Chain A
């Protein structure tokens, strides 16, 4: 469409975002605005020793030292610009146009760094596009850049609510970039710097630990283990401790170890409740909700006496549960560690999982079970999730899910009337942007990333949000202010839970449980197919056949999960081409030997159904699949599955003869006999055309396969009946459609078109998937 270079992508995106943020300057600011102003004043007016003890204002400095240094530097800039009014310590908030502009511009200035960090990661990370088809790689990089730079949660939190999250996220992106470059020490160093800016990033710590365990250290043998890894460990420890040295030594120097204690008290305040004023959508939101429900029910039933809950007051305070047991901070820490260790330990044994997944799972466990979690912390999940979904497109629907949920989660942060439309517009715009970008680099149909369940969930959340903003205060005129917030929080918590479960399920899919489950499900389905329990419009006579369609599937070389499916419809018996339809899909299930149908059949069938819905006049009477039908170790090949799932009679037309299940059947002794039989067939077909124009494979009875043509090796045209058709008719149709080519025309056309599209969209040379 239009060619624009990488530099222009960066320029265009940055221009749009920065102008948008500059226009947002007069928008509403939260108390965080005064918090940051006060920190600037404290660091400017007080000596280092008093930074963490000064308490004129209630908004005391409670970020680690690097952030304090950052505020100190900002204070210098403000002083240089002559805005000294901003640097006054006062117990009441100070506000003026000058202060507003200075602080807003400091955020926007740091945003420039964030956009550059996004560009660095998106356009230079060596591992970002390994699993993307070659021709789509530039698109994926562009998508990654735009999606990261325009994250709505960051935008709402920084440019309206007022915080410096973009700056911190840029440090994390730099760390991830180093991880991708396999420069692990630099990555550890930048992560440690990040920790010294804001301690919430400890959410990622366990992810780093487990990733480094397998990727940084070497496990060659028991004997040399310590000797080999000891220097590496020392280096790693040094690069982790180096930033701490810089951040803590000045304080120790002026005030001894008392300073450390002061900092620790500020950083980890104990007198906060299990949940924040607005419950972050995690496990404890559900826990509180369950407690409230139990309290109400038991109070009404007058079973025992309980204290009324206080966690719905909307204040930050310690509280106790009414019915359920109280949760202590240590308890949550234990839970977090246990969960993330289990999950991440599982990842270690999965092969070659990317660091972004470690980061997602680590942050997710902390977010889900952590003590006093802020809703804003969901940014920590969405950032690595965006990257992970681009690295592995199988997870795109998870990305759409969590990024939409994250928008809903931060909505309650912004509640002033003038900003309400802005937050909605930002969220909707990002949602559309996300879909557009997914289309940009996968070419997939979009319903694929929007399963019905998610759409329904989004709908319910939208209704709840709408009710909260527009209807609730009219109905109750100020009473029960927390009820809709609680509803949103609990609904979000459900969705986050679903996300966690689904992520877990998909990640450990190639584990034993999932494979067994899939195999079992497949066997059940095959039994149903053998019993002919699926509805199908059977064909008994040749005259019923008017349209024959061939379907085929071609995979990208670089990522065998991205495939092009093609369906070609032909007239019967005249063998005229009608139409060929093709589309891109992603296969979610890995290949399990002997069970190809698990991987491909459902996607294929869905595609065929989709085509029949879009073009009702193209509904074929017979479907030809590249592969076997009833000639199969369990009498149920790909073609049977597709036929049963679509309700269209199907024929399996294979190009290569496989004999292993015949060998298994007849035993090793008779192997030679089988080979001799096949050789015989080949000779017969070569020498002179037999009367029937095909030879039945009657070595084993009943006959499941007819051989129409056979080349020098095992290649040829092998027809077996699929679903809802008998072998004789299937062979008759196949022979008619064969013409003079190596395989039946519809299949050949579908094959050519899918390969062509793979070549055009994915990589220069499409490769076929192996068949079972």
Chain B
């Protein structure tokens, strides 16, 4: 997957590591949101560049600390405590350096609680620090891009997006709305010539930064190898039991004769479901519409596209967090459902106690929504039912004929919710504010 990250050189699943690193982050964030000045200080300094450099240089750093960490093949399964520590810290640092400052900056405004919910979102912590991935880097870069676009710094923004895209190809989920937003912003009907020049300029910036990032592989002529690793079309339409449309309705779908053209159908459905809000965004490129389209597009990718992981829901959730001030109830509902959809992953990683974390997050968020006046019982009941599904996955009676019944039930349940959120946010983009 991450061809240039050191994660590729060591086994990806770190389920055996005691997940005691999340608490550190967790406890720290309890006070983070209260210390206000840090975010301006951090933002002013050019920490992005430093952090990116730091991360890309992690291979030499690992080399310096201990050569056995990065020895090809023989480092697989390496499990010394010092090495775990190194890996864990390398996943924590970008969280604080890139992800948190940008997110807090983007979301701060009316209520401190919004920042609290953004910082404490368990999904990212569980995936990055429990399961072990480096999502906070790509998501942080993505957020930095949004920040730049909101401030009309298009060139810098596109560089950030290229960086994010090249850090993790999953950022392609966001590519369409970003492209449409930039395009629509640049087009000026009265002066077609100038808008063309501007678009060409942006295109040049994007291409240049692409070439710069790929230079080592161009030089060694290994581009094709990289591409094959990045886009594994031969891996199947979904991995494990994920809350995507194809998996949730697989009981029905696998009886239909569509196996051969599935890839075309999935592409068509993605485009179809996201096109509505994309068109809307092109016609009215407001920041709210941009955020809404980011959510709907990534949700349609998550639901309908080829080869989806359960972790990919992060790509839909993170832009949704930005909508917290506008739609607190729906966003929090979506966050809670996404937590439930990640439960299966926790189960596989043998860290089921995270479900308590999810549950407390739900309690606090529901109490917050209830306090702000607007509340519906469906939210409460649906999330509670989700937790019930999790519990049944743990303690329900085993049925030998359907070994994956509960997993599939969970996936199906979450999938219905995600479809609802997709429709809801699509319709919202047509509502006048």
Contact = CB atoms under 8 A, between A and B. Distances in A.
Given A20-B23, A23-B20, A436 B34 contact: yes
Nearest to A437: B34
A12 interface: yes
B34 A418 contact: no
B147 interface: no
Interface string B337-378: 000000000000000011011001101100110010000000
Main secondary structure of the interface of A (DSSP, over half): helix
Contact of A432 (B31, B84, B356, B357): B31
A22 B82 contact: no
A425 B354 CA distance: 20
Contacts of A509: none
A335 interface: no
B429 interface: no
Contact of A422 (B20, B31, B111, B112): B20
A2 B34 contact: no
B360 A8 contact: no
Contact of B371 (A4, A24, A433): A4
B112 A15 contact: no
A419 B18 CA distance: 10
B19 A8 contact: no
Interface string A414-430: 00011101100110110
Contact of A8 (B20, B111, B367): B367
A308 interface: no
A697 B251 CA distance: 103
A741 interface: no
Contacts of B111: 1-2
A2 B367 CA distance: 14
Given A425-B27, A425-B28, A436-B34, A23 B357 contact: yes
B62 to A, nearest CB: 17
Nearest to A417: B81
Nearest to A155: B27
Nearest to A4: B371
A5 B367 CA distance: 10
Contact of B20 (A12, A18, A27, A436): A27
A11 B81 CA distance: 36
Contacts of B176: none
B427 interface: no
A8 B371 contact: yes
Main secondary structure of the interface of B (DSSP, over half): helix
B24 A26 contact: no
B384 interface: no
Interface in A1-50: 1-2, 4-5, 8, 11-12, 15-16, 18-20, 22-27
Nearest to A27: B20
A771 B147 CA distance: 56
Contacts of B31: 429, 432-433, 436
Contacts of B356: 18-19, 22
Given A11-B363, A15-B364, A20 B26 contact: yes
B18 A2 contact: no
Contacts of A4: 113, 371
A417 B85 contact: yes
B89 interface: yes
A2 B325 CA distance: 13
Given A2-B111, A429-B27, A23 B22 contact: yes
A255 to B, nearest CB: 42
A26 B18 contact: yes
Interface residues of B, number: 35
B30 A11 contact: no
Contacts of B113: 2, 4
A20 B122 CA distance: 11
A151 to B, nearest CB: 13
B371 A426 contact: no
A16 B363 contact: no
A432 B31 CA distance: 7
B35 interface: yes
B34 to A, nearest CB: 4
B20 A24 contact: yes
Contact of B23 (A150, A422, A432, A436): A422
Interface in A253-295: none
Contacts of B361: 15, 19
B343 to A, nearest CB: 15
Nearest to A422: B24
A422 B28 CA distance: 10
A418 B85 CA distance: 7
Interface in B1-35: 18-28, 30-31, 34-35
Given A417-B82, A421-B89, A23 B367 contact: no
A436 B357 contact: no
Contacts of A419: 20
A469 to B, nearest CB: 12
Given A2-B112, A432-B34, A23 B354 contact: yes
Given A16-B30, A20-B27, A426-B27, A27 B18 contact: yes
Interface in B355-412: 356-357, 360-361, 363-364, 367-368, 371
A24 to B, nearest CB: 5
Interface in A691-740: none
B81 A23 contact: no
A22 B351 CA distance: 10
Interface in B67-114: 81-82, 84-85, 89, 111-113
A713 B81 CA distance: 81
A23 B353 contact: yes
Contacts of B85: 417-418, 421
Contacts of A150: 30
Contacts of B354: 23
Contact of B364 (A12, A27, A422): A12
Contacts of B18: 26-27, 418
B129 to A, nearest CB: 10
Contact of A418 (B20, B27, B30, B371): B20
B19 to A, nearest CB: 6
A184 B97 CA distance: 53
B35 A436 contact: yes
9 contacts: A2-B111, A12-B367, A20-B26, A23-B22, A26-B19, A422-B23, A422-B24, A425-B27, A433-B30
Given A11-B363, A22-B356, A23-B353, 13 more contacts: A15-B361, A15-B363, A15-B364, A19-B360, A22-B353, A23-B23, A23-B26, A26-B20, A418-B81, A421-B89, A422-B21, A425-B25, A432-B34
Q: Which 7 A-B pairs have the closest CB atoms?
A: A15-B360, A26-B18, A436-B34, A19-B357, A425-B24, A23-B23, A432-B31
Interface of B: 18-28, 30-31, 34-35, 81-82, 84-85, 89, 111-113, 120, 353-354, 356-357, 360-361, 363-364, 367-368, 371
